[in-house]
Each structure stands twice: as structure tokens, then as C-alpha cells.
Structure 1
Amino acid sequence: MSGTPRRTAGLRCEDARLIARDVLAAHGVAERLVDDVLLVVSELVSNAVRHAGGVTDFHVRHLRDCVAVDVSDATSQCPRMPGTPVEVPGGFGWLLVNRIADRTEIRCGLGGKTITALIPIPSVT
């Protein structure tokens, strides 16, 4: 397992993408997967900034069969899927994260939540 040192408050999407790109480059990850990971990073970080007062913790890990992206914020409010009611905007980024990631996990606590997205590394055949 290898990843980034944890980053905290004030993290912007641009910074998070640079950190993720550096971690993935160190592991020789294919550009197509890099694009998927950067999209997930952008969505999770921007949602934390827009809806939860900012990122309180950020980590990208290259594991044996996936890339894990962890984003924490200070609210325990869960992301919502789009659709109901239709007059409420948003939710499509969360839908996109869940289509790219094999699995997403939400861990809530008194100080907020951490969302982990596990993006599969395609096997080389």
C-alpha cells in the first residue's frame, strides 16, 4: 500500500488533483484510470467544499487492485442521489462517483464523515 500524507483544511480541487496525479504517477497508473480517479477526486472534494464547509482530511492510496480516495468533511449529512424532488438541483456528481467506483463507503461520526471511493485497477491481460 502506498499513498499520500493526509491533507487537511483549505484543500482545493486543483490541489487534490495534483496530489492524486503524483501518487498515481509514482505507481505508473494508466492514463485512463488516472482520468477516472481525478474525476472522483474532483467530485468528492468539490462536494465537501460546496456542501460541508470544506475538506478536513484527504488521502489517495494505491492498493493492490484499486485506488482508494478518502475525503472527509465536518458534516454527517450523506450525499444524495439525484431525482427526488426534481426541483432540487444537484446529486449527479455522487451518481458519477458511484458509477466509476466499484464501491463507496460512508463512515459518519460526531465530527463529520469520511467518504471512500474504491476505483478498480483494470487487470493487464
Structure 2
Amino acid sequence: MCPFTAPAAFHRHRRLALDSGGPCPVRGGLAFVREALRSWHLADSPPTTDDIVLVAAELLSNAVRHGGGPRDLDLTRHGDRLRVRVTDRSPEPPRLGTRRPGQIGGHGLVIVDRLAVRWGCYPDGGGKAVWADLPLPPERRSPPPPRLPPPR
């Protein structure tokens, strides 16, 4: 039996190395996410793209605040899902805190939990990887250019 292989349009992967110690890994990571969404023809699909950018921001911010800084940001598209994965330097798993009204901060994973279809973490190279799967709208492609009459 032949294993199913999805067409390239349904499985795409992008990786951004953040180990370089750049000035702002969150800002650079979010620019990377927006560019990937544009290249996959998903940039004009709010609120989906807004949710993806927000989840990426939360995972990157948590890696900065609690994980010793992010190492990599991965985006993997599988059909109607996009996985956002951030690796960091801390083996300590993230904890979904209890939300208290009026509390400032500490809501990052609550936001991820509400927006993602599922999320989790696993050990990765002395640190951990935290990932979230988000739903995607169907991919839209640009219409083909108009056909010109043959030259005479």
C-alpha cells in the first residue's frame, strides 16, 4: 500500500533561527510570520491571520520571559491547520495559569489555549518546544493572468 503524500500546497514549512541574539526576537519573529502568511496567500484572511500572529507573539514572548530566549520559530502548514512552534533554552514546561479579572499579564497561555485547536510542549535539545495548531481558511491563489490573443 502506498502512503499518502500531500501535495506541496498542503504541506509547507518555514523556519527562522533566533539564536543569533538579535535585538528583538519577538519583532523579527512576527515579521517572519506575516511574510510567510503573505507568501501562502493567507495575509488577507482576518481574523485567522490575526489569531496566528497573536499566538506566535505569545509563544515568543513566553520564550523570552520564561525560557531563556527563543532558539527557533517554525511554521508548518498541513492542509487546513498551521502549527506555530517555538523552541527555547529552558526544560521547564509552561503552565497554564488561572486567570484573575483585572490581572495584568500572565494571560499568554490562556490566549493560546482559547485560539488553538490544540497545543502542547515537549523536550527539545536541552530546552523545550511549545507548539500550537491553528485553523486556516482554504488557500486562495491569485487568478491566472488574462489570455492574450495570438500575435498576427
- Superposed counterparts of 1:66-105, under 5 Å: 66-83=81-98, 90-105=105-120
Q: Gapped runs of 5+ residues in structure 2?
A: 1-10, 140-152
- Scaled by the length of structure 2, the TM-score of the pair is 0.71
User: Equivalents in 1 of 2:77, 2:124: separation in Å?
Assistant: 25
Greater mean deviation of Cα atoms: 112-121 or 60-69 = 60-69
**Runs (4+) off by over 4 Å:** none
For residue 5 of structure 1, what is the aligned residue in structure 2?
A: 15
**What percentage of aligned pairs have identical amino acids?**
31
- Superposed counterparts of 1:15-94, under 5 Å: 15-29=28-42, 30-83=45-98, 90-94=105-109
Structure with greater helix share of residues: 1
Residues 3 and 23 in structure 1, CA contact (< 8 A), matched pair in contact too: no
User: Equivalents in 1 of 2:78, 2:31: separation in Å?
Assistant: 19
Residues 64 and 70 in structure 2, CA contact (< 8 A), matched pair in contact too: yes
User: Equivalents in 1 of 2:62, 2:78: separation in Å?
Assistant: 24
Q: CA RMSD in A?
A: 2.5
Q: Helix, strand or coil for the counterpart of 1:5?
A: strand
How many residues align structurally? 123
